[in-house]
Structure 1
């Protein structure tokens, strides 16, 4: 009866032949402090008989097939030969609570100290939690800005119980809107989007740095601002090492407050009122023909009540319009203007003294359409803007009527 069942083979570097990989094998207690025992395999003839050892990590009831670390004699000291011909890993030789390795070579024994493993937990919180663009509470570079604080916090957790009073040096980078060509926020300290800092963490104690930053006017208030931190141990060659597979970066989004109810859903109510200066049949009768109301009533009987009259001498048409938002903030408000081919768009001029901008664009494929952004990126609640549209009659296209459509959404 077979007492053993094959479950795979451990893998070394495929480039080495006749390395005697596996001529020495040692089971060792938990080297990476994950509660699973590990395995060290010697290959004393690798590197032209200088030798090397391979460390394989245990996981649950098996050994991971791919080695985690390769230690070559050539990287330790000159003159070592047949390194890995014998391995012992059961004792804590330097009394730091971690099992160390003793590796034999020709005429030498090499002691390898184990390193403690640490996990770094990172978090970011903001004060206030959302960017309020409606309240400019500071000035930066002479401009009104929204000022905020980011609290970047780290906690070091050592996996070995013997290191609960230890410390570790950390280096981290902070970047705002890393994937945008132009960031929407800047750090107060440097005026840039990026900063680097160093700190020392005590085991189990949270350390927080406060970074002041500000947001100026931007065209995009919809997508949140991204805060990114990337961190690493400051001394990579000695001291503790990061737990393999533990995150070393964090991305956090800080949203813009949209000025609406607590449900974060804006419900605008856009109302558009427009009137052209083309007179109705009744108005034309009274003003142009100067007839009395009774006569004009008889005159208009032959017209539909919605019909307007255009005199042949007229060269321009004007439309007076008012756009009002009776609801909550309206984001990406657009005014669509379309008109018949016998008209040419001349101008759109806001009336009165208003800070609401209306920017119009023309598409080459649709010369008789205009798409206008109203107070981009958002049209405030209870805001109102009056404007005048001017059109000129085409000198080459003549139609029996004209049409002008205005739609706000």
Structure 2
């Protein structure tokens, strides 16, 4: 599709367009009403007769199946409203109909300009009304609503702007793309959206309506970036301010311009190119739009007289009677009319005779300039169809086509034969064709004398219109080029290559626990036991939970989503030849599945008997589980509470703070890897009662992250202190010096459900029940609070042993108030002295203190 200006030198069609825009009902309303009429309607329905209305009551208007929507931005102190005029009544919403006074306090001072633009959307469940409030909360918003049986406003959805001052919602347009009478898209303009250079580039948000009747954001359309003057610029190109494009100032749903069965959209950018303006054309596709514009129409004509080209657009009518919708574009100083050119489908096909090149095939031998070789006839067929209904089938159109052999090679292995005796790898031809005609042409090429089998011979065909500036344009959805290949085979005198491929595949693992970027290798052996297997290919398809990495040794491989094809032994795998290779994968953490599936298949262009095909493929299935990448921490690791000798407790408890010291424990579960985190549960077990049924730890509170739920039953503040009161009467017991755990005491527990999240926390608060420990006989006691993290879905996920349990030790100590009594010291000294005397007496009795006389020898005596 292309639009061309149908008015010489941009002639102005102002009066004509004025009539085109007016529908009969709208004309009647605008002629018979004035702003005072609408003001009176709103005043009759409003409780505040003084402040309900202002000027500018009819800034937008939309004809619907029920009547006419009138936007009144000046109503209610410029907060605005929308009036629905039906043939029998006027429906005027109240002041608070479009906002919630409880959650949107202060709305009345915002001057949101509701009703700046209005639209309606047809859905299977009824009519939706849509209006914009571009100044609401300074960022703007769009309100989607219905009318109930009593004609009251029922808001279905609110779409919010994202930038202050962007005027989001100032321009609205609904589009029925697929022509099924139901709305498919809502386009919301934000023409003052600031670009990176703080210029008003503007953008258009595209929302698609879902099966529930709600609009979902699909993508955002933006114009070509405009260069603007800046303080540091040496050269300033733009003369007018503000700089930018204001893309989205006008949005028009235009009838099918390219005759593909889908309606299209035109968007104006009147400030583009230094306020000259431009219009962007987007084609419909399916139930949506193509994100890339197919045509940009810049302003033409006299720049001094016409500015802001694209500030208004209309494209519904066929103005020149050729059966195709035309587009009128308005600007300051004039209006331009663009005629739509017809669209033609040109489909091409290419066949070869012979379909395979066999060098021994005698009947395909030809001679050129004294050289004999194999020749191939290429037949190229074209079918030409004009889409519009008003077409002249007697008019012929000039078509060109180019044929090229071995386009990707530096030196071609074949050349086309020309009538003048010349040969070249590329030829160009032209011919005439009419609407509805099919035309076929033939060309021949000769193979080189010495032919290599490295890859098939590729023939490329590209084609188009000789004169693209006149007549129809070609359908952009159809290809303009075709590439086809011819296999090269050498099968001997019987002309049949009967191969027998066999394949074996062995994975590096049989089962797997995936922790992070795990690797998987598959060793493959391919063997051919008969004739040459030409163009042997190994096809490996795999489940989406793994990614292809590479093949060793390196092969010529082509990856297409979850399938990889590799050429093996190219150009052929010879008789009794074996190839061994290894395909490497790594884990794709974005997809979680119970098994890794890998299918391996070997094929070739040669024939193979059906009886030998059973071993041409292999299926591999590897059961897997995923280790949840989690960090499970607890703080603090231990707590210490001291009970002083003689400490007393209150006779009556009326608040949990009177029970004893507070013990706060925080459990944190944090996601670390890319693998999806499963739903978890956290079970906290703690010693609640002693052997004599006295409280040990008293649960007072649990705080969690959003979406985390803890089922505690009646454990939290089980005595319901505050408002209730409790009189503690602990039974005296001997706790001893030991570790209190759930192995020797019945413990209480509760379970928290933790959904998938980046980080989740559970904060548990206990109170040490002081009366039990003040009364009991003990000196030092340890209590364990255990937490166990588990996975609900054990079919897919596992936890590492280091991430399963965490314990907090609560130490309770009892200390005395005074020192050691003095008589203890005197008695200890006396006992010590008595023991020392007893030891000395025993040693004396044993002769320990007697000295043995020395005996001298005769030599010593003589000396």
TM-score in terms of structure 1 length: 0.59
Shift of 1:219: 3.4
Q: 1:85 to 1:202 in 2, by over 3 A?
A: same
Q: 1:77 to 1:148 in 2, by over 3 A?
A: farther
Match of 2:316 in 1: 90
Alignment of 1:192-231 (within 5 A): 192-221=424-453, 223-231=455-463
Gaps of 5+ in 1: 268-326, 332-376, 379-409
Out of 137, 154, 161, the position equivalent to 2:365 is: 137
Match of 2:792 in 1: none
1:147 is the counterpart of 2:375? yes
Match of 2:225 in 1: 14
Q: Deviations over 1:289-312 (max 9, x none)?
A: xxxxxxxxxxxxxxxxxxxxxxxx
Larger radius of gyration: 2
Asked whether the 8 Å contact 2:223–2:245 carries over to 1, the reply is no
Gaps of 5+ in 2: 1-154, 159-214, 228-242, 501-529, 535-570, 573-863
Q: 1:229 to 1:61 in 2, by over 3 A?
A: closer
Match of 1:351 in 2: none
Q: Deviations over 1:258-282 (max 9, x none)?
A: 3456763369xxxxxxxxxxxxxxx
Q: Deviations over 1:16-47 (max 9, x none)?
A: 64433322222111112221211212222222
In 1, Cα distance between equivalents of 2:533 and 2:347? 40
Match of 2:473 in 1: 241
In 2, Cα distance between equivalents of 1:149 and 1:64? 40
1:265 is the counterpart of 2:419? no
Higher relative contact order (CA 8 A, sep 6+): 1
1:174 is the counterpart of 2:406? no
In 1, Cα distance between equivalents of 2:416 and 2:331? 56
Match of 1:81 in 2: 307
Shift of 1:257: 4.8
Shift of 1:83: 1.3
TM-score in terms of structure 2 length: 0.29
Q: Deviations over 1:60-97 (max 9, x none)?
A: 333444433211104x5654322112222121112111
Shift of 1:217: 2.0
Answer with 258-267 or 147-156: which moved more: 258-267
Match of 2:732 in 1: none
Q: Deviations over 1:104-142 (max 9, x none)?
A: 223322111112222322111122333342226332121
Alignment of 1:4-403 (within 5 A): 5=215, 7=217, 8-15=219-226, 17-74=243-300, 78-79=303-304, 80-134=306-360, 135=362, 137-163=365-391, 165=393, 167-189=396-418, 190-221=422-453, 223-259=455-491, 264-265=497-498
Shift of 1:160: 3.0
Q: 1:10 to 1:139 in 2, by over 3 A?
A: closer
In 1, Cα distance between equivalents of 2:334 and 2:297? 16
In 2, Cα distance between equivalents of 1:98 and 1:244? 17
SS of alignment partner, residue 160 of structure 1: coil
Shift of 1:164: 7.5
Quote the RMSD (CA, aligned, Å): 3.0
Give the structure with the higher percent helix. 2
In 2, Cα distance between equivalents of 1:330 and 1:56? 49
